[in-house]
DNA sequence: GGCTTTTCGTAAACCGGTTTACCAATTATC
DNA sequence: GATAATTGGTAAACCGGTTTACGAAAAGCC
């Protein structure tokens, strides 16, 4: 017995023949660019049913030069932040009649550039781009002149494209203000990759809040490195080695917070008893952590949806205007912030958690 | 000033013309099906560089009838379990020279069937399919006769296709044995959707372990419903309402465990002090929960990679044979299991957590 | 030198759609 | 009743590759 052979699909020609009509008639009728007398239309309809005709996608794309497909480029799809983003982008694209292909760059510049080229090469009609490392000009020149790219979450400096970001500065400020209001003055800041917009802005928000409270900024409390758990671990270790460790830590991503918690737990330091913590992103199930982690929640799903809206209108509307949008973030107050164990009175250090060992 | 016009791309014809050679020569040289004297090759190479020629993907696909692309179909990409799976599938596909398109069905049968049809319609060369609901025959008939589909994680009963699953029965048994070994005899089982292979098998493993320990199976302790946090919540509430609530709970997914923890916390019941818990999947950051959650870890990434391997060999190897593979799972012992607070001595109930309120 | 084989290369068909240009037969207009 | 406009439809070009079938020139062989 022969192996399973590929079933032969019907083409427009077959349908036209079956319906005793020309190819063009079938094609135009299908695309609604002509109306036909009831009899003819019915014959075509029947032939299509009978032959189980479905248009060949590739032929259609070749002919039309468009794909009705968008791409979402993210560093890593297994990261819950980007997975959530991907979910909302998928749904939004679908609602606009677009398919979605998901691309993970694993932060390899070559892959990023390759994916960006896909819109030029007509693989997709448009592309949502999210990165998480600073650009050395490679991305800029890859995106430059490319129409149909919108930047999500993170900027690529110099690029002229529609952008949808979250309010990083506001988030950084809110988190820090909250810690300051709880009485903290030595607040560690663990940031993402140095130079990346979101990291810079969150640190600016941090600085703003400290300035507003007349708290001098101690560069030794600030550490950049990446939105990873590993960065959370190493930065926290460094902070703990200081003569005066912070009484609170602002971790600027979920993963950083998770790494920081890891180190704190190993060191036997209680949260928030000895050190308070605020995280950022809030896509991890922080309310099940112990303590439930206070975090700045980014509207990840909104960002995805909005990005698709912008992209689709860029593709379809010739009078499209590029904009930069900032989505508001929200501080989710839970249980990882308490007044500092280090108490200063009249400017003198009375007690630090180290004394309590 | 005119708006940005789409840049005109060079075609093989342009390249051929520029290199003073025929189209076929260029095409065949590019595809390595001919070798040319150094001079000619060099001319072609130069023309390609000069014109920035890149082959048109759609033309290529139309002509060749293949796409070098795989699809991964999952219920929900934002679910960490499937996000992790997607990550590994992406990487594996890439390593075989295939692209990947990700499809989220949101458990809508119409979307599932549509996606499955994509391989027939040549949108992709092959498809990895993961579902999480029982099939009423729709999926079976959609997949039937379709070559180039491999089933991942969850079965669709009756389908003859390569399958890559995890050892659900073994996982259920291990988890339950572990609880039994800790002294538990009233163990709640919170399962996934009733009738779904993974849920059935995990419950079989649960039953096996109980039988082996001569513990009678109490149907009132068993609840199916879905791998969701909501199921975790409602099932846990039901368990707590019993005259004799369980001393341990086996939650058969991360999300279920999270929901269960939620209810237990609200009820002021400590884990593992009053109720022990074992979860399943272990893609959530359980080691940061308090207590760190003991869970059966599924080799999600392995499953993805293996699935791609099977799919690719099915596509490329005519002598391919269908197999069902079972990947081993591993119990990650952490801190959510303790001996039961309910103590029986000489068959009499001496103490339950209820008494300790 | 004549015959075969290899090398280098071409013309043309094909994949399966869309679309332009155009035609014949009705129907509307004056 | 002649002309213009509409209706229903067709043939053929085009999108941009791949591949088959074949030809001419160069090299190999006796």
The three-state DSSP-derived secondary structure of B131-171 is CCCCCCCHHHHHHCCCCCEEEECCCCCCCCCCEEEECHHHH
Instruction: Compute chain B's Rg from CA coordinates.
Output: 27
Confidence of residue B2 (pLDDT cuts 50, 70, 90): very low
CB-based contact, B84 to chain A, within 8 Å? yes
> Residue A333 above 80 pLDDT?
yes
DSSP labels for B42-64? HHHHHHHHHHT----HHHHHHHH
Residue B211 Cα, gap to closest chain A Cα (Å): 33
Nearest DNA or RNA nucleotide to B55 (CA to C1'): D17
Better pLDDT: A197 or A40:
A197
Which candidate, A49, A44, A115, places its Cα nearest to that of A77?
A115
Mutate to test the interface with A, among B4, B77, B105, B287 (most CBs of A within 10 A): B77
Residue B181 CA from chain centroid, whole number: 30
Is residue B295 within 8 Å of residue B278, measured between CB atoms? Answer: yes
Distance B12 CA to C3 C1' (A): 38
**Longest alpha-carbon distance in chain A:** 97
Is residue A322 within 8 Å of residue A161, measured between CB atoms? Answer: yes
Q: Cβ contacts (< 8 Å) between B262 and chain A: which residues? A: 287-288
Cβ within 7 A of any strand D atom:
A 20-25, 28, 34-37, 40, 59, 62-63, 65; B 9-13, 23-24, 27-28, 30-31, 33, 53-56, 59-60, 62-64
**What is d(CA A126, CA B93) in angstroms, rounded to the nearest whole number?**
23
pTM of the model: 0.85
Q: What integer pLDDT is reported at residue A2 of this predicted model? A: 38
The H-or-E segment that residue A26 falls in is: helix A23-30
> Residue B62 above 90 pLDDT?
yes
Among the partner-chain residues B104, B261, B287, the one whose CB lies closest to the CB of A87 is B104
Instruction: Compute chain A's Rg from CA coordinates.
Output: 27
Q: What integer pLDDT is reported at residue B101 of this predicted model? A: 87
Is residue B39 within 8 Å of residue B93, measured between CB atoms? Answer: no
CB-based contact, B83 to chain A, within 8 Å? yes
Among the partner-chain residues A76, A79, A102, the one whose CB lies closest to the CB of B102 is A102
**What is d(CA A265, CA A75) in angstroms, rounded to the nearest whole number?**
29
Handedness of CA B182, B185, B190, B193 (dihedral sign): positive
Average pLDDT over residues A1-5: 43
Which residue lies nearest C10, CA-to-C1' measured?
Answer: B22
> Residue B102 above 90 pLDDT?
no
Which candidate, A62, A55, A61, A57, places its Cα nearest to that of A26?
A55
CB-based contact, A140 to chain B, within 8 Å? no
- Mean pLDDT, chain A, integer: 90
Among the partner-chain residues B90, B145, B261, the one whose CB lies closest to the CB of A288 is B261
Please name the residue of chain A whose CA is at the shortest distance from the CA of residue B288: A289
Nucleotides of D under 7 A from a protein CB: 7-12, 14-21
Confidence of residue B216 (pLDDT cuts 50, 70, 90): very high
> Residue B5 above 60 pLDDT?
no
Is residue A107 within 8 Å of residue A75, measured between CB atoms? Answer: yes
Residue B70 CA from chain centroid, whole number: 15
H-state helical runs in A267-334: 300-316
Task: Mark yes or no for CB contact A78/B86 under 8 Å.
Answer: yes
Average pLDDT over residues B284-303: 92
Is residue B127 within 8 Å of residue B139, measured between CB atoms? Answer: no
Q: What percent of chain B is modeled with pLDDT above 70? A: 94
Is residue A90 within 8 Å of residue B102, measured between CB atoms? Answer: yes
Q: Cβ contacts (< 8 Å) between B61 and chain A: which residues? A: 58
Distance B33 CA to D27 C1' (A): 22
The lowest-confidence range among A285-294, B277-286, B327-336 is A285-294
Distance A303 CA to C12 C1' (A): 52
Could you read off the pLDDT of B304-357 as tens digits, one per residue?
999 999 999 999 887 888 999 999 999 999 999 999 875 555 555 545 544 433
Average pLDDT over residues A194-219: 97
Among the partner-chain residues B84, B120, B285, the one whose CB lies closest to the CB of A258 is B285
CB-based contact, B8 to chain A, within 8 Å? no
CB-based contact, A121 to chain B, within 8 Å? yes
Residue B135 Cα, gap to closest chain A Cα (Å): 24
Average pLDDT over residues A56-84: 92
Q: Cβ contacts (< 8 Å) between A86 and chain B: which residues? A: 77-78, 83, 102
For chains A and B, CB pairs below 8 A equal: 109
Distance A227 CA to D21 C1' (A): 60
Q: What integer pLDDT is reported at residue A343 of this predicted model? A: 54
- Cα distances from B168 to residues B3, B205, B214, B323, in angstroms, run 59, 7, 21, 17
């Amino acid at each position: 017995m022969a192996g399973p052979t590929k079933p032969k699909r019907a083409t427009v020609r077959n349908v036209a023949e079956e319906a005793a009509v020309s190819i063009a008639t079938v094609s135009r009728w299908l695309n609604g660019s002509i109306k036909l007398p009831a009899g003819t239309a019915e014959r075509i309809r029947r032939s299509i049913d009978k032959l189980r005709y479905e248009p060949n996608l590739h032929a259609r794309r070749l002919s039309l030069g468009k794909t009705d497909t968008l791409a979402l480029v993210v560093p890593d799809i297994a990261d819950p932040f980007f997975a959530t983003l991907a979910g909302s982008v998928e749904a939004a694209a679908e609602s606009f009649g677009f398919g979605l292909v998901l691309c993970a760059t694993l932060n390899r510049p070559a892959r990023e550039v390759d994916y960006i080229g896909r819109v030029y090469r007509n693989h997709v009609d448009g592309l949502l781009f999210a990165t998480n490392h600073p650009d050395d000009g490679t991305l800029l020149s890859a995106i430059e002149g490319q129409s149909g790219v919108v930047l999500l979450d993170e900027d690529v400096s110099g690029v002229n494209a529609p952008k949808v970001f979250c309010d990083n500065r506001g988030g950084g400020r809110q988190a820090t203000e909250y810690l300051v209001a709880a009485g903290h003055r030595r607040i560690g800041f663990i940031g993402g990759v140095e130079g990346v917009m979101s990291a810079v802005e969150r640190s600016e928000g941090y600085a703003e809040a400290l300035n507003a409270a007349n708290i001098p900024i101690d560069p030794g409390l600030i550490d950049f490195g990446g939105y990873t758990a590993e960065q959370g671990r190493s930065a926290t270790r460094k902070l703990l080695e200081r003569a005066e460790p912070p009484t609170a830590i602002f971790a600027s991503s979920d993963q950083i917070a998770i790494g920081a918690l890891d180190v704190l737990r190993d060191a036997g330091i209680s949260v928030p008893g000895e050190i308070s913590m605020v995280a950022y992103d809030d896509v991890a199930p922080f309310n099940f952590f112990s303590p439930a982690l206070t975090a700045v929640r980014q509207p990840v799903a909104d960002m995805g949806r909005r990005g698709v809206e912008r992209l689709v209108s860029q593709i379809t509307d010739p009078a499209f205007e590029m904009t930069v949008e900032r989505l508001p973030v929200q501080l989710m107050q839970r249980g990882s912030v308490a007044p500092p164990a280090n108490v200063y009175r009249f400017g003198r250090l009375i007690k630090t958690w180290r004394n309590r060992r």
